[in-house]
Amino acid sequence: MSTLFTKIIRREIPSYKCAENDEFYAFLDINPLKKGHTLVVPKHEVDYIFDLPDDELGRMQIFAKKVARAIRKAFPCRKVGQAVLGLEVDHAHIHLIPLDNEKDMIFSNPKLELSEDEFKSIASKILKNFEEDQSS
């Protein structure tokens, strides 16, 4: 049975794409802690991120770094935090969250409620910055 994230990668379920390459896909978390809260996933199913081969985990981190730079350009913040939880969906993923203080990354905080247009605008800004970074 395919994971929720696999269905998103296959475009069977809609998402707000922020970045993509041959191996990884980045999209907005639909229950964000902050505007720009993005998930980075491998395109093949692996439940636990630390079960990825070392070279693939390295490439995933490099991809996440590029997405984090795009997030920071779109949503100026002190830093972009990274978290690996992996309990909510059985598919390896990294959370990237714009941070102005440590409290921004507390997962029990209330989630933002954003409109479809807000999600589209946020994803578009990140994707634009990601693509510009790739072309330079």
What residues are labeled active site?
A: 93
CB neighbours (10 Å) of residue 78?
11
Residue 124, φ and ψ in degrees, nearest 5: -60, -40
Structure tokens at 45: 């199913």
3-state secondary structure of 95: strand
What gap in Å lies between CA 32 and CA 16, rounded to an integer?
12
3-state secondary structure of 50: helix
